[in-house]
Amino acid sequence: MAKAIKEHQLLETVLSAKFQDWVIGGVRQKSLLRTIGWRSVFAVNGKEWQTARALIRPSFTRN
């Protein structure tokens, strides 16, 4: 079942602290792996997700 997130703070919590509770799997993961790559932050879980997120985090911080 897909879930949509509208609230900014909830989305921030999911992406920064509660990522382990929002596993990507099944058809969605397979299609993402084919289209955006197997190491994309949008297509991996767990430790791989943490690594991918750490790589893009600087792009989302203000100077």
Q: Which residue segment(s) compose the domain that 43 sits in? A: 23-63
Establish if 15 belongs to a structural domain: no
How does pLDDT run across 6-48, given as a tens digit for each residue?
A: 777 777 776 677 667 777 777 777 777 777 777 777 778 888 8
pTM of the model: 0.51
Kindly give, in sequence order, each residue whose CB lies less than 8 Å from that of residue 29, ignoring residues fewer than 6 positions away: 43
Total number of domains in the chain: 1
Q: Is residue 63 part of a domain?
A: yes
60 domain residue, yes or no: yes
Report pLDDT for 35. Answer: 76
Give the pLDDT score at 9.
74
Residue 51 included in any domain: yes
8 Å CB contact between 43 and 29: yes
pLDDT at 58 over 70: yes
At 7 the pLDDT is 76
Is 33 domain-assigned?
yes
